[in-house]
Amino acid sequence: MNRVLSVFVGAVVLLAVVTGVVVARRATPALDPHTPEGVVQQYLQAVVAGDYRVAANLISPSAGCDISDVASAYNPGTARIVLNHTAVDGDQAVVTVDVTEGSGEGPFESTGYSHTERITVARDGGVWKITGSPWLLSPCASTKG
């Protein structure tokens, strides 16, 4: 009986380790940068990495934002951002993402909170560019209105 239980516990632990390895090695899929969600992905990756120059280059001139606005805007730091859906209407698109921000330092602390955000994108000269986001681009003219 105890041996069966030991084997079972060992199998569960082994399975847990394998699952952990699979999850840890899973690469983030790179979306097509010529699509609204692709440009949003590039922008978010740049913001999270603190690469504000790359992020600023992805913003449309009509947004009224420059690199100083991007750098002074909110940076989520540790966050997990998942694509919810994309709504395209001609040269305009809204990309909705689910964000889980923050995490506790210890094992018994909270694993953060989740919220949904919308990022607007527009085609400018055949290239999709970020035009606004109340979440990440609040200092910009387009978001202020």
Residues in CB range of 92: below 8 A, 6 or more apart: 120, 121, 122, 123
| Other CB atoms within 10 A of residue 95 CB | 27
Give the residue with the Cβ less far from another protein, 23 or 126.
Answer: 23
| Euclidean distance between CA atoms 133 and 113, whole angstroms | 19
| Euclidean distance between CA atoms 4 and 81, whole angstroms | 42
Q: Which of 3, 23, 113, 125 binds another protein (CB under 8 A)?
A: 23
- For another protein, the binding residues in 100-119 under the rule CB under 8 A are 100, 103-104, 107, 111-112
- 25 is an interface residue for another protein by CB under 8 A: no
Give the residue with the Cβ less far from another protein, 11 or 141.
Answer: 11
Q: Which of 54, 67, 71, 79 binds another protein (CB under 8 A)?
A: 79
- 143 is an interface residue for another protein by CB under 8 A: no
Instruction: Quickly list DSSP for 64-87.
Output: ---HHHHHHS----SEEEEEEEEE
* Contact indicator for 37, 95 with CB cutoff of 8 Å: yes
- 73 is an interface residue for another protein by CB under 8 A: no
Selection from 117, 87, 118 nearest residue 100 by Cα: 117
Per-residue binding string, another protein, 37-56, x by CB under 8 A, is: x--xx--xx-xx--------
Query: Would you tell me which residues interact with another protein (CB under 8 A)?
Result: 2, 5-6, 9, 12-13, 16-17, 19-20, 22-24, 26, 28-29, 31, 37, 40-41, 44-45, 47-48, 76, 78-84, 97, 100, 103-104, 107, 111-112
